Amino acid sequence: MKKIILILLLSFPLLTTAQTAEEKGLEIVSKAIEADRGFGSSSVDLRMVLKNKNGQLSERTLSNKTLELDEDGDKSMIVFTSPKDIKGTSTLTFTHKQGADDQWLFLPSIKRTKRISSSNKSGPFVGSEFAYEDLSSVELEKNTYKFLKEEGDLLYVEQDPVDPKSGYKKRIAVYNQAKDYRLESIEFYDRKGALLKTLTYTEYKRYKDKFWRASKFEMVNHQSKKETFLFFNNYNFEVNLKGEDFTEMALRRAAN
């Protein structure tokens, strides 16, 4: 009888400390965010390729710069450099850990800066298969989490947006625990719960012996049959950006 009681006592702590799917999902995403912390600021050049449902291609070039912030979400700016009809169009994003993000769009044709409302952030970013809300940095507070399954080194986590105005009901993100929990892919589900699109990250490179960056993004819209590819070149982690580089005035200057 004493042996039975001892076994029960020894096994009880294991039962009480077992992780729930929600706790494990939160832990995985926390590790992914922590693994990428500390880059400070960066800039990169991109080539965007749009593919319509008939297979026709069009190209754009753009630049992106990012400022990492610990007290709140990151700040980022995207500026299109070609072709002529879109050159100078630029976007400024302030991600927030709590509440709606702030975003502005500068249109050089009318020389005006337009604030993007929360209700429009699920709309397409400059005709691509990325939405404006996809431009925000990954912040832990933006979602609730649920671990789904493990396949080898890959961990599948459901992410349900907290923002009721999000264009997504959920995302299913795949993390590679053998590679510092870097993202391998994300499935996006629309508000009705149907699969909308899939983003795949490939051709990874590691910078400064820590920061993994994919050189290629492929976003496939399963409903529209359109695709957007992003190719990244010339990452610079020594650019030393400041808060004054991410203002509405800086947005207008960057477009010139």
- Determine the average pLDDT of the residues in 173-178: 98
8 has pLDDT over 70: no
Question: Phi, psi at residue 33, to the nearest 5°?
Answer: -65, -45
| 83 Cβ contact list (under 8 Å, min separation 6) | 59, 60
Bridge partners of 221, per DSSP, are: 197
Strands (E), 88-190: 90-94, 102-107, 112-115, 143-151, 154-161, 168-176, 182-190
Q: Mean pLDDT for the chain?
A: 93
Q: CA-CA distance, 79 to 120, in Å (whole number)?
A: 20
For 143, how many CA atoms within 13 A lie in the half-sphere containing its CB? 28
Domain tally, the chain: 1
46 near 232, Cβ under 8 Å? Answer: yes
- How sure is the predictor about 17, in pLDDT bands with cuts at 50, 70 and 90? low
Note whether residue 6 is domain-resident.
no
Asked whether residue 11 carries a pLDDT value surpassing 60, the answer given is no
CB 199 within 8 A of CB 219: yes
pLDDT per residue over 144-164, tens digit each?
Answer: 999 999 999 999 999 999 999
Could you tell me the end-to-end alpha-carbon distance of the chain, in angstroms, rounded to an integer?
Answer: 83
* DSSP letter (8 states) at residue 124: B
DSSP label of 24: H
14 vs 186 pLDDT, higher one: 186
| pLDDT over 70 (residue 206) | yes
Query: Considering the domain boundaries, does residue 3 fall inside one?
Result: no
Per this entry, what is the length of the chain? Answer: 256
Confidence of residue 22 (pLDDT cuts 50, 70, 90): very high
Is 90 within the bounds of a domain? yes
What's 90's domain CATH number? 2.50.20.10
Is the predicted pLDDT of residue 9 greater than 60, yes or no?
Answer: no
| 140 close to 33: Cβ distance less than 8 angstroms | yes
The answer to the question of residue 52 being in a domain is yes
Q: What is the DSSP letter of 73?
A: -
* pLDDT recorded at residue 7: 47
- Is 112 contained in some domain? yes
| Domain around 224 | 20-254
pLDDT at 5 over 60: no
Q: What is the pTM of this model?
A: 0.90
* 120 secondary structure, DSSP code: G
Taking 90 as the threshold, does the pLDDT of residue 15 lie above it? no
* pLDDT recorded at residue 64: 98
Q: In this structure, is residue 102 part of a structural domain?
A: yes
* Contact status, residue 251 vs residue 55, Cβ threshold 8 Å: no
Secondary-structure percent of the chain, ordered helix, strand, coil, rounded to 5: 20, 45, 35
